[in-house]
């Protein structure tokens, strides 16, 4: 069986290396849970406490460039293990740092913001189609928000002309992005069918409801995919442009993730609940191991789906890697611009 993403979502699991595979067993019983051939493996996601990995398993992952991501019960990433050989190449890193102080940084913050708002608009228009007959008022409300988001996109060009430096532009850009996000999340609730849990509005840390918990957990998975793409493209995940620098904050990952939140996670969460699936939370408000596994599989399945691009149909995993490489090429001066990914339907 081909396993590209090894999910460890419950306590009491042990991971060891055996003949070119990672073997997962239950510590108490010795029961074999999974075997992942290393030749196909791309990432390991540890999403539970009480999981152990042997030194041999960690060393083999490092040798093969397979990152091991750690997220807590809410999906918040708190660590990653990867080989030093995956860190940024010196030419790309030099240009990445220089770009902050020249026109490239200014160009990139606009591109990241544009990509996010464009895909928010696209998702609303895409999902609204399914509400046209069953909930016409909700359908019209969502389309109105989508039109408003298009107006926000027009404001980006005005801001770019008014504020010619990155530091001057950023606060105004973040304010515009916040206004767009507020409208988007209000419309998001109209896209949910009658069987879905109630939508309380967007909640980030500390969310105790199924919908926000699912979104936060999905973003945690996507975060690991984006970080790996940055590393493979020779980029430093911690040197971003739109998101400010702070010790331990992977600013570039947070920049690049913006254009992929809607096609990867938001769309998956909508489909998950609109199809009547449930997400169980424990008494502390964290997602149960069974639900973590089900949701993670849904997100990874979405990443493996093919989408239309100018180069034919590619998986979202491939598109993410392509975007990271295009970003690196732009920073090195090998491309004249960086265009954010816009998903189509």
Judged by average pLDDT, the poorest of 125-129, 166-170, 202-206, 324-328 is 202-206
Reported as a pLDDT band with limits 50, 70 and 90, residue 79 is confident
Report yes or no on 140 lying in a domain.
Answer: yes
Beta bridge partners of 314: 307
Give percent of the chain above pLDDT 90: 77
What's the CA gap between 265 and 221, in Å, rounded? 9
Q: Which of 19, 51, 66 is the last residue of a domain?
A: 66
What's the CA gap between 119 and 298, in Å, rounded? 20
Alpha helices in 233-315 (DSSP H): 251-256, 267-274, 289-303
What's the CA gap between 143 and 310, in Å, rounded? 27
* Residue-range definition of the domain harbouring residue 37: 5-66
Report yes or no on 74 lying in a domain.
Answer: no
Q: Which two tokens stand for residue 75?
A: 């999906």
Report yes or no on 340 lying in a domain.
Answer: no
Report yes or no on 322 lying in a domain.
Answer: yes
Residues 19 and 156 in one domain: no
- How many structural domains compose the chain? 2
Greater pLDDT, 344 or 239? 239
Residues 150 and 240 in one domain: yes
Residues 223 and 157 in one domain: yes
What is the average pLDDT across 114-143?
94
Reported as a pLDDT band with limits 50, 70 and 90, residue 133 is confident
Reported as a pLDDT band with limits 50, 70 and 90, residue 86 is low
CATH number, residue 133 = 1.20.120.920
> In sequence order, what E strands does the chain have?
5-8, 13-18, 21-26, 32-37, 43-46, 51-53, 68-71, 77-81, 306-309, 312-315
Is 60 exceeded by the pLDDT of residue 324?
A: yes
What's the CA gap between 276 and 274, in Å, rounded? 5
pLDDT for residue 249: 85
pTM, two decimal places: 0.89
Report yes or no on 100 lying in a domain.
Answer: yes
Report yes or no on 42 lying in a domain.
Answer: yes
Handedness of CA 200, 214, 142, 275 (dihedral sign): negative
Reported as a pLDDT band with limits 50, 70 and 90, residue 87 is low
What is the average pLDDT across 108-130?
96
Helix axes 136-162, 103-128, angle to 10 degrees: 170
Reported as a pLDDT band with limits 50, 70 and 90, residue 88 is low
pLDDT for residue 200: 95
Max CA separation in the chain (angstroms):
65
Q: What angle do CA 271, 199, 223 make, to 5 degrees?
A: 60
Residues 252 and 306 in one domain: yes
Residues 56 and 178 in one domain: no
pLDDT for residue 303: 95
Residues 143 and 275 in one domain: yes
Residue range 34-75, pLDDT digits in tens: 999 999 998 899 988 999 999 999 999 998 888 899 988 777
Q: Is 78 exposed, middle or buried (0-12, 13-18, 19+ CB in 10 A)?
A: exposed
Residue range 286-311, pLDDT digits in tens: 899 999 999 999 999 999 999 888 87
Report yes or no on 118 lying in a domain.
Answer: yes
Beta carbons within 8 Å of 316's beta carbon, 6+ residues apart: 260, 263, 264, 302, 303, 304, 305, 307
Is 60 exceeded by the pLDDT of residue 248?
A: yes
What's the CA gap between 307 and 197, in Å, rounded? 29
What is the average pLDDT across 101-110?
96
Report yes or no on 232 lying in a domain.
Answer: yes
Residues 154 and 289 in one domain: yes
Per DSSP, the three-state class of 196 is: coil
Residues 15 and 110 in one domain: no
- C-alpha count within 13 angstroms, C-beta hemisphere, residue 305: 16
Residues 94 and 12 in one domain: no
Residue range 265-286, pLDDT digits in tens: 999 999 999 999 999 999 888 8
What's the CA gap between 270 and 272, in Å, rounded? 5
Residues 122 and 261 in one domain: yes
Is 90 exceeded by the pLDDT of residue 145?
A: yes
Phi, psi of 32 (to 5 degrees): -80, 125
Phi, psi of 255 (to 5 degrees): -70, -55
What's the CA gap between 173 and 170, in Å, rounded? 5
Contact 196, 273 (CB under 8 A): yes
Residues 171 and 102 in one domain: yes
Residues 38 and 116 in one domain: no
Q: What is the DSSP string of 133-168?
A: TT-HHHHHHHHHHHHHHHHHHHHHHHHHHH--SHHH
């Amino acid at each position: 069986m081909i396993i590209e993403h090894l999910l460890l979502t419950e306590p009491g699991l042990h991971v060891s290396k055996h003949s070119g595979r990672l073997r997962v067993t239950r510590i108490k019983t010795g029961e074999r849970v999974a075997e992942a051939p290393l030749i196909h493996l791309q990432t390991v996601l540890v999403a539970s406490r009480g999981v152990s990995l042997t030194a041999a398993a960690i060393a083999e992952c490092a040798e093969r460039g397979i990152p091991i991501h750690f997220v807590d019960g809410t999906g918040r990433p708190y660590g990653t293990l990867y080989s030093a050989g995956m860190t940024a190449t010196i030419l790309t890193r030099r240009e990445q740092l220089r770009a902050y102080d020249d026109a490239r940084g200014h160009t990139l913050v606009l591109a990241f913001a544009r990509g996010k708002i464009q895909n928010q608009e696209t998702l609303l228009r895409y999902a609204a189609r399914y509400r046209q007959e069953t909930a016409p008022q909700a359908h019209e409300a969502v389309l109105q928000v989508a039109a408003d988001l298009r107006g926000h996109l027009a404001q980006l060009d005005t801001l770019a002309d008014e504020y010619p430096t990155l530091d001057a532009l950023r606060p105004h850009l973040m304010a515009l992005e916040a206004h767009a996000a507020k409208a988007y999340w209000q419309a998001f609730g109209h896209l949910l069918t009658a069987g879905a849990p109630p939508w309380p509005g967007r909640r980030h840390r500390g969310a105790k409801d199924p919908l926000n918990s699912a979104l936060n957990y999905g973003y945690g998975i996507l975060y690991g995919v984006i970080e790996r793409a940055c590393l493979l493209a020779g980029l430093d995940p911690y040197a971003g442009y739109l998101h400010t620098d702070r010790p331990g904050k992977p600013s570039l990952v947070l920049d690049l993730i913006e254009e992929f939140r809607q096609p990867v996670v938001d769309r998956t969460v909508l489909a998950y609940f609109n199809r009547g699936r449930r997400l169980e939370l424990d008494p502390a408000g964290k997602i149960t191991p069974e639900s973590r596994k089900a949701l993670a599989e849904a997100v990874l399945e979405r990443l493996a789906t093919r989408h239309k691009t100018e180069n034919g149909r590619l998986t979202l995993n491939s598109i993410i890697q392509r975007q990271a490489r295009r970003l690196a090429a732009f920073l090195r001066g090998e491309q004249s611009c960086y265009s954010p990914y816009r998903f189509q339907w």
